[in-house]
């Protein structure tokens, strides 16, 4: 019972058919009487015998609180009292079906008033976001000529999307359609009880609660579990059992969620992003049932080792990743599973809750102990981007992308602490960690944030913000000047300022060979840092394979494909350090980082028919139509298959960028396409063109001027439309090319460099009017799966110093062994193989990136 005799909700799915039948009969009986029928959807819920406590002593958590003050935090009257009419707005969400619903579990304790104050702080900040915006809009427009506030174009259509578990159960009929996030703070409240409750016979979540719920001063959403307070001994698994039982009573709840208590969720982004991902996944499955779904903020298993300080993993991980505790969610069937006897918890539990929970979930796959009716044990995963769901410490920079106001004081405060998951970071001190723990600081920053967010999104721009925008536009316009001939030209590198209101993206493609060991450090130093000022987003496609066999360009070796996930960590750390060290200018917005991958099976499903056609099609003279048979170094069909795989990787990562751009409401104007299996020897500024000028007019497309056969196809950067042809029109142009081009017909088929030179680049320059620039400003060398490096990739024409010396000076360890690898006709390639060393450049875990850069490079970047 809630309060005042109002019954709590019962297991609705057990009585749904009976209730529908009863309602139908009542309607038929009263139609002729002309009665207005108000159908009561609640049913009585009899006490259920608890295996934990006696029903005589069991008091419902969801009883109505009295009007007495709750501590120092005001009153919470009438939670289950007289119900006002619902003022829901009709949703216009484009995806099919209902909005997914999430049961948020936030661990807390009863150990101090500080914890109680922190809970109330969360209720009044991120868990109250929609209602705050609603109240601000009502107040802002109360004196306007609008009679219907919901008719305002920019007004939020929903303002009750977050509710407490008490509100959900006691005001169900009024809020169940609109509420999408049901929150609960779960605590252990029995010092003499075991540290967990894992009982498969339980059928009611109320049976997991302590007898004394302090109803007279109960806090909204506080769940007092009948367990001993703990962190690593079963509290989190107990929460998921509790959540699964809630889900049985309320089957419209899709996901059980666990959040760390130092995580702040930006609820509009969370709901928009997860709703998109939820329906995308269900539509791809062609099954609208929410089951076998696991998601959160993922970390690769390489982050978890037995010697790690914060994530020690003495046991092997069951899966290839684990979900961080800052955001960890699963469908209700998996929540039931991990608390059930079928889950082999005793064999895969370690003293780290995040990894243990992931082990439990992944053990579902191919588990022989599952009931016979379970036919499909495949788990689909939803990996979320931290910076788009959580409020991160440089949120002031994010305001800019949302067209919100700016404040110098606000920016300074945002640089002083970390929003979101507040682990100590390798910065100057640990004061950052403590700042967030003080509720007063959170309230102050939240007050600033919500004000500036509202002003920017709903139309109250401050005069200072407008002035800043005017200065930005003025600076951008000054980047272009007229030459003596009256033509517009880009200014030189020192005076040119790229308009940061435009968006750029850097895309990586290919097979990530030796990524952690060699590639990533060079990306940080020579891709991320030179483009830091532009706030580019980053996308990467990779193939999920664990080994590469020997080929014409390298020896066999092991692949750790998930190492590419370290790119997101590197981007976040670099941007965080840059903002913390910056004393001038606006903080940098944390970029979007997105990953997309293929397995061998998904590649063949997507391109298998094309590969078969390319392998078998022949000309009238009997020679292959597509295979470059005149190329002496190509091996049939392996080389041709690899070409298709690379083109597929390029096309797929481009499509991922376009999909994300729509979701993020971004328009990219500048794009770079880079290989993910090379060491970048020199800085690559994606706006830089010849004579140290910036391509402000966005008219130049740049490729390397070395390794040309006859042109280099290993990278490109330039205007969006130009690079789009380079990335997406290979397959569609190939058929006509191999049948009509004189070089192709001479036996070179789909030779990638010749195809690029004769089919794609002419269209970009002659048809679209862009200028092609071939440059020797930078060098990069290919790495192989066995750790070898093609050290002469940039050829002898590299300016100022040859590539071998440059590479040796910066990267080559003393214990490297090199050998010459001769091919049939071209110049020898110097191939070096290093012993297993992870500190060739620097170890990311040892010191901050910016410090490492200053120690390893004489170059400075502004």
SS3 852: helix
**pLDDT for 404-423, tens place per residue?**
333 334 333 333 333 334 44
pLDDT over 60 at 120, yes or no? yes
Of the spans 192-196, 675-679, 715-719, which averages the highest pLDDT? 715-719
* Most distant pair of Cα atoms in the chain: their distance: 98
The share of the chain scoring above pLDDT 70, in percent, equals 63
Q: For residue 437, what pLDDT is reported?
A: 65
Average pLDDT, the chain: 72
pLDDT over 50 at 1, yes or no? no
**Structural domains of the chain, count:** 4
CA 219/CA 121 separation, integer angstroms: 12
Would you list the DSSP string of 783-830?
A: B-TTSEEETTTT-TT-SSS-HHHHHHHHT--TT-EEEEE--SSS--EE
Strand 162-164 and strand 222-225: the pairing is unpaired
Q: For residue 154, what pLDDT is reported?
A: 44
pLDDT band at 257 (very low <50, low <70, confident <90, very high): very high
Residues 302, 400 within the same domain: no
In a domain, 93, yes or no: no
Asked if residues 393 and 401 have their Cβ atoms less than 8 Å apart, the reply is no
pLDDT over 80 at 659, yes or no? yes
Closest CA relative to residue 101, chosen from 204, 240, 251: 251
Sign, CA torsion 250/252/256/260: negative
Residues 379, 396 within the same domain: no
In a domain, 429, yes or no: yes
In a domain, 618, yes or no: yes
What residues make up the domain containing 424? Answer: 391-465
pLDDT band at 502 (very low <50, low <70, confident <90, very high): low
Lowest mean pLDDT among 247-256, 295-304, 660-669, 821-830: 821-830
645 Cα distance to chain centroid: 25
pLDDT over 50 at 845, yes or no? no
Question: Backbone dihedral region of 725: left (phi > 0), alpha (psi from -120 to 50 degrees) or beta?
Answer: alpha
Who's near 30: CB < 8 A, 6+ residues apart? Answer: 37
Q: For residue 42, what pLDDT is reported?
A: 26
- Residue 512 — φ and ψ, nearest 5°? -80, 85
pLDDT over 50 at 577, yes or no? yes
Asked if residues 127 and 121 have their Cβ atoms less than 8 Å apart, the reply is no
pLDDT over 60 at 514, yes or no? yes
Residues 812, 840 within the same domain: yes
Lowest mean pLDDT among 3-7, 805-809, 810-814: 805-809
Question: Backbone dihedral region of 585: left (phi > 0), alpha (psi from -120 to 50 degrees) or beta?
Answer: left
Asked if residues 156 and 134 have their Cβ atoms less than 8 Å apart, the reply is yes
Cα dist from 297 to 382, 387, 569, whole Å? 9, 10, 12
Residues 651, 787 within the same domain: yes
Closest CA relative to residue 559, chosen from 521, 625, 512: 512
Tallying the residues shown for the chain, one arrives at 862
Of the spans 67-81, 84-98, 388-402, 449-463, which averages the highest pLDDT? 449-463
pLDDT band at 339 (very low <50, low <70, confident <90, very high): very high
Residues 23, 117 within the same domain: no
In a domain, 89, yes or no: no
CA 397/CA 792 separation, integer angstroms: 42
Residues 662, 555 within the same domain: yes
Who's near 166: CB < 8 A, 6+ residues apart? Answer: 61, 62, 79, 80, 218, 220, 221
CA 462/CA 806 separation, integer angstroms: 51
Given 332, 363, 388, which residue is the final one in a domain? 388
**pLDDT for 35-93, tens place per residue?**
222 222 222 332 332 222 322 232 233 332 232 222 222 223 334 443 333 333 333 33
pLDDT band at 211 (very low <50, low <70, confident <90, very high): low
Residues 744, 719 within the same domain: yes
Q: For residue 554, what pLDDT is reported?
A: 56
In a domain, 65, yes or no: no
Q: For residue 334, what pLDDT is reported?
A: 97
Q: For residue 305, what pLDDT is reported?
A: 67
In this structure, what token pair is assigned to residue 295?
């998601």
State the angle between helix axes of 113-124 and 439-457 in degrees (0 to 180), rounded to the nearest 10: 0
**pLDDT for 145-201, tens place per residue?**
433 444 344 444 466 799 999 999 888 888 888 899 999 999 999 999 999 999 888
pLDDT over 80 at 833, yes or no? no
Asked if residues 107 and 239 have their Cβ atoms less than 8 Å apart, the reply is yes
Asked if residues 277 and 283 have their Cβ atoms less than 8 Å apart, the reply is no
Burial (CB < 10 A; 0-12, 13-18, 19+), residue 724, is middle
CA atoms within 13 A on the CB side of 479: 20
Question: What is the residue whose two structure tokens read 């080389």?
Answer: 639
Residues 641, 789 within the same domain: yes
**What value does the mean pLDDT take over residues 599-612?**
93
Strand 255-258 and strand 321-331: the pairing is antiparallel
Residues 384, 403 within the same domain: no
Residues 557, 443 within the same domain: no
Residues 355, 413 within the same domain: no
Work out the end-to-end distance of the chain between its first and last CA atoms, rounded to an integer number of angstroms. 64
CB atoms within 10 A of CB 552: 12
pLDDT band at 486 (very low <50, low <70, confident <90, very high): very low
CB atoms within 10 A of CB 535: 19
Sign, CA torsion 275/278/284/285: negative
In a domain, 64, yes or no: no
SS3 string, 56-79, reads CCCCCCCCCCCCCCCCCCCCCCCC
* Cis amide prior to 637 (ω within 30 degrees): yes
Cα dist from 150 to 84, 344, 830, whole Å? 18, 52, 69
**What value does the mean pLDDT take over residues 683-701?**
92
CB atoms within 10 A of CB 266: 23
pLDDT over 50 at 821, yes or no? no
Who's near 394: CB < 8 A, 6+ residues apart? Answer: 414, 415, 575, 576, 579, 587, 588, 589, 590
pLDDT over 60 at 436, yes or no? no
CA atoms within 13 A on the CB side of 147: 0
In a domain, 764, yes or no: yes
Asked if residues 350 and 315 have their Cβ atoms less than 8 Å apart, the reply is yes
Closest CA relative to residue 441, chosen from 462, 463, 418, 423: 418
**pLDDT for 783-797, tens place per residue?**
887 777 777 677 544
Residues 375, 437 within the same domain: no
633 Cα distance to chain centroid: 41
Asked if residues 303 and 391 have their Cβ atoms less than 8 Å apart, the reply is no
Asked if residues 206 and 128 have their Cβ atoms less than 8 Å apart, the reply is no
Rounded to two decimals, the pTM is: 0.48
Given 442, 465, 488, which residue is the final one in a domain? 465
In a domain, 479, yes or no: no
């Amino acid at each position: 019972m809630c309060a005042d005799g109002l019954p709590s909700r019962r297991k609705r799915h057990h009585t749904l058919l009976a209730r529908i039948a009863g309602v139908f009969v009542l309607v038929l009986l009263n139609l002729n009487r002309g009665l207005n029928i108000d159908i009561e959807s609640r049913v009585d819920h009899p006490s259920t015998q608890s295996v934990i406590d006696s029903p005589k002593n069991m008091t419902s958590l969801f009883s109505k609180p009295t009007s007495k003050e709750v501590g120092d935090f005001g009153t919470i009257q009438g939670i289950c009292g007289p119900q006002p009419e619902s003022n829901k707005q009709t949703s216009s969400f484009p995806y099919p079906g209902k909005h997914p619903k999430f049961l948020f579990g936030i661990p807390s304790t009863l150990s101090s008033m500080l914890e109680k104050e922190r809970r109330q702080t969360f209720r009044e900040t991120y868990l109250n976001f929609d209602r705050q915006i609603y109240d601000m809009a009502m107040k802002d427009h109360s004196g306007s000529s609008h009679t219907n506030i919901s008719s305002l174009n920019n007004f939020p259509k929903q303002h009750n999307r977050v509710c407490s578990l008490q509100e959900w159960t006691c005001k169900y009929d009024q809020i169940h359609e609109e509420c999408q996030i049901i929150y609960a703070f779960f605590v252990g409240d029995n010092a003499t009880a075991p540290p967990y409750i894992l009982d498969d016979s339980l059928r009611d979540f109320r049976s997991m609660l302590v007898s004394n719920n302090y109803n007279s001063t109960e806090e909204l959403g506080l769940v007092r579990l009948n367990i001993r307070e703990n962190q690593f001994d079963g509290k989190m698994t107990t929460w998921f059992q509790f959540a699964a039982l809630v889900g049985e009573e309320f089957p419209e709840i899709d996901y059980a969620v666990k959040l760390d208590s130092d995580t702040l969720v930006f609820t509009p982004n969370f709901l928009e992003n997860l709703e998109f991902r939820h329906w995308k996944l269900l539509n791809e499955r062609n099954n609208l049932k929410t089951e076998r779904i696991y998601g959160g903020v993922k970390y690769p298993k390489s982050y978890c080792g037995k010697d790690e300080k914060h994530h020690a993993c003495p046991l092997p991980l069951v899966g290839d990743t684990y979900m961080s505790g800052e955001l960890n969610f699963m469908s209700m069937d998996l929540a039931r599973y991990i608390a059930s006897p079928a889950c082999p918890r005793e064999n895969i539990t370690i003293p780290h809750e995040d990894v243990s929970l992931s082990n439990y979930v992944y053990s579902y796959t191919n588990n022989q102990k599952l009931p016979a009716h379970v036919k499909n044990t495949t788990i689909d995963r939803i990996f979320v981007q931290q910076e788009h769901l959580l409020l991160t410490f440089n949120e002031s920079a994010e305001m800019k992308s949302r067209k919100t106001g700016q404040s110098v004081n606000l920016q300074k405060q945002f640089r002083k602490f970390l929003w979101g998951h507040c682990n100590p970071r390798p910065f100057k001190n640990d004061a950052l960690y403590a700042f967030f723990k003080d509720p007063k600081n959170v309230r102050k920053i939240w007050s600033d944030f919500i004000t500036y967010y509202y002003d920017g999104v709903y139309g109250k721009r401050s005069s200072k913000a407008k002035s800043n925008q005017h200065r930005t536009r003025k600076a951008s316009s000054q980047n272009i000047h007229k030459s003596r001939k009256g033509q517009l030209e880009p200014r030189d590198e020192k005076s040119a300022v790229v308009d940061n209101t435009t968006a750029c993206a850097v895309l990586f493609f290919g097979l990530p060979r030796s990524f952690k060991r060699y590639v990533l450090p060079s990306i940080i130093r020579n891709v991320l840092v030179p483009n830091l000022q532009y706030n580019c987003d980053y996308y990467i496609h990779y193939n999920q394979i664990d080994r590469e066999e020997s080929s014409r360009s390298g020896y066999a070796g092991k692949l750790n494909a998930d190492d590419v996930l370290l790119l997101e960590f590197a981007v976040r750390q670099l941007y965080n350090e840059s903002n913390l060290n910056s004393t001038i200018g606006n903080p940098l917005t944390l970029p979007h980082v997105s990953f997309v991958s293929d397995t061998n099976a998904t590649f063949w499903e997507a391109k298998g028919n094309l590969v078969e056609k390319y392998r078998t099609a022949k000309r009238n003279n009997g020679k292959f139509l597509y295979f470059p048979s005149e190329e002496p170094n190509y091996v049939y069909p392996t080389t041709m298959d690899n070409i298709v795989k690379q083109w597929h990787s390029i096309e797929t990562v481009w499509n991922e960028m376009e999909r994300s751009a729509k979701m993020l409401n971004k328009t990219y104007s500048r794009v770079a396409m880079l290989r993910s299996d090379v060491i970048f020897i020199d800085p690559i500024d994606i706006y830089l063109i010849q004579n140290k000028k910036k391509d402000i007019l966005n008219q130049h497309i740049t490729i390397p001027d070395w390794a040309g056969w006859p042109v280099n196809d290993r990278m490109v950067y330039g205007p969006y439309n130009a690079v789009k042809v380079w990335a997406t029109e290979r397959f569609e142009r190939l058929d006509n090319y191999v049948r009509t081009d004189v070089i192709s017909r001479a036996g070179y088929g789909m030779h990638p460099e010749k195809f690029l030179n004769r089919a794609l680049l002419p269209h970009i320059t002659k048809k679209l009017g862009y200028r092609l620039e071939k440059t020797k400003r930078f060098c990069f060398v290919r790495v192989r799966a066995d750790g070898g490096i093609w050290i002469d990739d940039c050829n002898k024409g590299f300016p100022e110093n040859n590539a071998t010396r440059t590479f040796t000076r910066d990267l080559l360890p003393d214990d490297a062994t090199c050998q010459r690898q001769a091919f049939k006709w071209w110049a020898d390639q110097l191939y070096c193989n290093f012993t297993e060393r992870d500190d060739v450049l620097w170890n990311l875990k040892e010191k901050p990136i910016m410090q490492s850069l200053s120690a390893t490079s004489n170059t400075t970047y502004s």
